[in-house]
Amino acid sequence: MEEISAMDNSNDEFRSDAVGGQANSAAVMAEKLKKNMQFMKDKAVYFSEIRQYNGLQRTNFKVEYAVQNAVVQGNLSVIDILENISFHYVGVKDPSFSQEEHTVYLVKAGGEWIVANIETKYDWFDEEYKDTTYKLSSLIEAEKQTIQAQAVNSANVNLAEIEAAAEEESATEAEIIANAAYVRSYNKDNAWKYAYTYTTSTATSNPNSYYNEAVFNDYSGPKAGDCMNFASQSIYAGFAGSNSLDQVKAGAAPQDTVGLEKNQTNAEKTKWFGRPSETYWAWTSCSYFRNYIDYSASDDGTRLYAVKKSISASSDFSEVGTANLIGSIIHVNGTATLGHAVVVNAATGTARNQIYYSAHSPNSKNLNLADKYSGAMVSIRPVFFYDITACTGTYASHTFSETNSKCTRCGYVRTYITPTLLSPVEKNTTVTLTAKTNHTVSSIAMSVTNPKGETKTFTSETNTNSISRTYTPTVASHPDDLYTVTVTAVSGDDVTTTSIWTFRTY
Ligand SMILES: [Zn+2]
């Protein structure tokens, strides 16, 4: 924020009261101030009570504040503050981290600055209740009843129905595999480990310093967030997408550079395409991504197949299942209905208080879903990235010889490389770097470059479909904590395929 005129419009009324300083607005001003203070207290009570009701306890609680920007104009002062909160949920091994971006408005009264208002970016509670008439005890009671209803629904879940749905899903998946020219299966661990690598996890005055801006755009701004862009990146990593700017710009798989058919509204924008400097809505917007998933099921050519399920406010995630939750995406109510995307990094069950997520906007790592969000949600579980490109003429499927990459008839290239991603590792810990190709190739080479730009090249493998080497990272100091691994496979017919991935140290 550069100056007061750049402030969010929603506070215009408040600002004119404070800055104008007209005698007859003093009473209005005092009333507003009182209401704002009460709202902040109510919000704290609400989340504390709901957290307790969900049986969530936090230890090692630590809060740090970083002032981003401060502007003083007459009797009004506006300060942007970054609140970095780290803690452990009791019984959870990994630490949790939450970062909130607040704008604090202070007014000078009787020679002293007092807090008049706090606005928190991306906050659904503010969006829902601020400047409205509500009764706190009723809000809390209603939410407790909803949580009870979730437990009752979970206990009475129709297992036969869930099994039938699972069977139907398997049948669809079998059909896709049978009809696809090539299929990449979703690696859910790679998806959440990518999310873990690129979510903010230490107190830092630069809120987005963990973002993958070397390859993708950061869409967070005064009015926008980066949540679905980040979820799309995690999905891309889950389908073995290479962490390479050139490959992303070129629209390399797993990206859908076609999207909706040309004659449809906004077709150009509905590609699931991560290319920076241009904005493709299916990649960056929750609602467009959901539309894309719906459309993708009936599309042909390259596409992403995901199972999408609406979860009502009074339901848990029984119909998704614990194992399926990991690495999946959940859309929750943010400042817009179902407008916020989170990536599930852990699940110990299907109840909302057994699900942990990581996200951008606000920056969140290993936070409990029930601790932050409620209401209706949508579960999106990526399953395949595939295409059904047919071979030449009457040949339905391509033909490849053992170590070759290209179809012997049409030249279709099949090779891709799947790494085993790592969640951030403590420096001086020996890790195993592993990558696999989807068929036997002539050679696989691997190298790792540390944050100082020093590269170690490992001995390569021949006539195989995997490479695995041990490595001990010794450098780690954020932001210079990112290691880059490059894997190059050469097929029998001399097609070179390169894949890049990263891991972070602490
Ligand atoms: Zn072919």
The confidence score (pLDDT) of residue 295 equals: 87
**Total residues found in the chain within this entry:** 506
262-266, 286-290, 411-415: segment of lowest average pLDDT: 262-266
Between the CA of 171 and the centroid of ligand 1 the distance, in Å, is 26
- Assess contact for 401 and 408: CB atoms under 8 A: yes
Average pLDDT, integer, range 499-503: 98
Average pLDDT, integer, range 347-365: 98
Between the CA of 135 and the centroid of ligand 1 the distance, in Å, is 66
State pLDDT tens for residues 76-85: 999 999 999 9
Average pLDDT, integer, range 153-179: 91
Tell me the DSSP string of 317-379: STTT-HHHHTT-EEEE-SSSTT-EEEEEEEESSSSGGGEEEEETTTTEEEEEHHHH--S-EEE
Between the CA of 463 and the centroid of ligand 1 the distance, in Å, is 23
State pLDDT tens for residues 34-74: 899 899 999 999 999 999 999 999 999 999 999 999 999 99
* Rounded Cα distance, 343 and 359, in Å: 6
DSSP state, 224? Answer: -
| Cα dihedral across residues 280, 283, 284, 288: positive or negative | positive
Q: What pLDDT band is residue 13 in, cutting at 50, 70 and 90?
A: very low
- Assess contact for 292 and 382: CB atoms under 8 A: no
Between the CA of 397 and the centroid of ligand 1 the distance, in Å, is 6
The confidence score (pLDDT) of residue 109 equals: 85
Between the CA of 394 and the centroid of ligand 1 the distance, in Å, is 10
* Ion ligand 1 neighbours, Cβ < 5 Å: 391, 398, 407, 409-410, 412
On the CB side of 340, CA atoms within 13 Å amount to: 24
The confidence score (pLDDT) of residue 392 equals: 85
Judged by DSSP in three states, 253 sits in coil
Between the CA of 389 and the centroid of ligand 1 the distance, in Å, is 8
The confidence score (pLDDT) of residue 370 equals: 98
Q: What pLDDT band is residue 179 in, cutting at 50, 70 and 90?
A: confident
- Reply yes or no on whether the pLDDT at 11 is more than 50: no
The confidence score (pLDDT) of residue 300 equals: 77
Between the CA of 412 and the centroid of ligand 1 the distance, in Å, is 5
SS (H, E, C) 3-50: CHHHCCHHHHHHHHHHHHCCHHHHHHHHHHHHHHHHHHHHHHHHHHHH
Buried b (16+ CB within 10 A) or exposed e, 181-195: bbbbbbbbbbbbbbb
Burial of 102 (0-12, 13-18, 19+ CB in 10 A): middle
The confidence score (pLDDT) of residue 25 equals: 65
* Between residues 21 and 280, the one the model is more confident about: 280
Average pLDDT, integer, range 94-111: 93
Q: How many CB atoms lie within 10 A of CB 484?
A: 18
5-19, 254-268, 302-316, 324-338: segment of lowest average pLDDT: 5-19
Between the CA of 414 and the centroid of ligand 1 the distance, in Å, is 10
The confidence score (pLDDT) of residue 259 equals: 80
Query: Which residue type is seen at 286?
Result: C
State pLDDT tens for residues 378-436: 999 999 999 887 888 777 789 999 899 999 999 999 999 999 999 999 999 999 999 99
- Reply yes or no on whether the pLDDT at 243 is more than 60: yes
Average pLDDT, integer, range 447-475: 97
Average pLDDT, integer, range 363-368: 98
- Reply yes or no on whether the pLDDT at 7 is more than 50: no
The residue ranges of every structural domain in the chain are 4-147, 152-387, 417-504
Buried b (16+ CB within 10 A) or exposed e, 16-51: ebbeeeeeeeeeebeebbeebeebbebbeebeebbb
Q: In sequence order, what are the residues at sequence separation of 6 or more whose Cβ sits closer than 8 angstroms to the Cβ of residue 236?
A: 254, 255, 274
**Smallest Cα–Cα separation from 240: which of 184, 182, 189, 296?**
184
The confidence score (pLDDT) of residue 138 equals: 98
With a pLDDT cut of 90, the percent of the chain lying above it is 77
Q: In sequence order, what are the residues at sequence separation of 6 or more whose Cβ sits closer than 8 angstroms to the Cβ of residue 314?
A: 146, 149, 150, 153
- Reply yes or no on whether the pLDDT at 501 is more than 80: yes
pTM above 0.85, yes or no: yes
- Assess contact for 77 and 106: CB atoms under 8 A: yes
The confidence score (pLDDT) of residue 255 equals: 95
The CATH architecture to which 417-504 belongs is: Sandwich (2.60)
Rounded mean pLDDT of the chain? 91
Between the CA of 392 and the centroid of ligand 1 the distance, in Å, is 6
173-177, 231-235, 395-399: segment of lowest average pLDDT: 395-399
Query: Which residue type is seen at 44?
Result: A
Q: How many CB atoms lie within 10 A of CB 228?
A: 27
Between the CA of 75 and the centroid of ligand 1 the distance, in Å, is 73
Q: How many CB atoms lie within 10 A of CB 134?
A: 13
Q: In sequence order, what are the residues at sequence separation of 6 or more whose Cβ sits closer than 8 angstroms to the Cβ of residue 238?
A: 186, 187, 188, 190, 191, 194, 327, 382
- Assess contact for 271 and 301: CB atoms under 8 A: no
Between the CA of 405 and the centroid of ligand 1 the distance, in Å, is 11
Report CA Rg, the chain: 25
The confidence score (pLDDT) of residue 6 equals: 34
